Chains A and B, each alone.
Chain A
């Protein structure tokens, strides 16, 4: 088959099984858009801003496990995509971004809409390519998908100069079934000796804890993780990125750990003698003060990326490999082992954990006349029966969604953890809804964040992707305000906007349904009404208690056992329990 470059790109995407491509046209990709026009297998979603394209593709990828695909033009189209590429990079999300580039002969001449996309994205991609020969185009696209989806996943950029897609130049086309790259061989199964050592250590632990993260979601190992935890009877905590990888309603789950984690999770980490970290990367939001991180623990770490291991915290037993096969191997060894976890030790460990649980760190004032954001999330959970896909933006609302919506399934909690990108939630929700049109998709957002990609309301209408937007409107950049309250004697420097738009009217202008809710008793009925409108995008502008803070909190530079908890009168306290 002979095809021109533009057709090769589109045909390669078809052969790769790509369903959706999120993009925005422009000069450098006109040939590509012409080829797109002449087929209807790959569906193109025209966003309203290239950042939206990357987040939508990212949401699609997080919900499905398949790579998200983006198409943008050169110059400003490419730079607009960078924030979304970096967002995917920080959370290890598989994504392939095809960017147009000026024709090869004029590269380097400051041509119209030229930017060095390969240079700009180098530090925030897993890899990138500049295509210099149309004969290598199909193979390069195959390599891009291969790199993006294997090992530790991540975004890959393919920069395609306009002359490479010239419709007049046809070359033989064959999409490779497989590619190999001699310098790229990600580990799969772990080292058997190391796994054996880890199992021995686990079976002698007195105060063990499982600390699992996004790697379990990415590695599709929820089933294995659940079985592993049940077999051992150990407590388990998840990172923000790992939520849903283990059923949050299970009794062994002690909640999220880290800066806004539960009291019991952080205390258990601090007091533990053996930690097994599974697909988690010891982020600073999780560890708090490094010198005082888990002072008594021996640590086992399973990660597919050797560079994640002993990066910030030294571990005793590193295991480089994919979580799924490693956990399978561990389970087998545990079952075959004559040693069993010490029942007595575990009993007293659980007793201790139950005492920490009794602190009830997640309680909040349920009798308030104001709408409490936590209450909204609890109601959202009930109305959606815990089965919705929930995307979020970044801020206090993100933490409340993570804390008060117990996710039982992986790939249902979709948020930007590593980069913390405001503007992520709405486009991501659209990507999810396109992938799962029959499921409820909610975007929990804030009055600040939603304005960063609000233009995508228009995309939701055009492609019939009805999502429910839950705007926890506190008229503040609340997370910033909270830090200013705690650390800057309440000097609220620019964390307040006094011209927040009328979101109801704005939503209506975009062709959707808007509702404003300002009384606690209206929250539940409004949510029910919104979710009953299956084919409409509904924006719930919920005016919440403006002064509410996220608790518990480990303030910057503090250790796990030095948390700030909420006290009954609504003020916070430093609480040091040992």
Chain B
């Protein structure tokens, strides 16, 4: 018998083990839900599974009585759009400022303290300011995401840019590169996979800020819907929405990770 630390599950066993906690959670939920519903059939806290099916059917596959829209898809589209725009703009700013700060000492001396200062402002605390300045429209919500995740991403990318071995930067110069070429041929390409991992890390906070902003001021969106139906204690809608958001987050993370491994083999295989 091998020591426990050396025993590894095979592929099927590994899948089975990974699924086990999920199954247990579902079973535990069903038992608890049953127990509450037998006591009080109108209990709203832990709805039975078929109420979820009905709710999902109602939200996703039947047009809403009021607006004629399919609410789940409308909400998803609205939220993903805000998230996408916010994260894309943040990534762009982060790459530009991160490269500037990370590679050019004169720029770093100028902007690095500012970025550090900004990254310490709690974004949620300035949410009212955003609503005052940008109104209650799309811009304020996207701005919250940008303000929430950009300073962190800049600091991350700046750090990564500064970690590029000095030998490689010297090497570029001995091959005749000017500053701009060092950026386009060395720093930029080497930062791309690191940008993807910075984006993956900041997607968690980005969702947080998105849902917070939607909860306060929106007319559609996943966060808006959850907070709207909360008033009616509609757990049968809230929980599927939460699961759906989790699935979306997982899918985005998975795709980014796969893309990075396919596109930047030199980055991923080196670190093994």
- Tell whether A and B belong to one assembly: no
User: What is A's interface to B at a CB cutoff of 8 Å?
Assistant: none
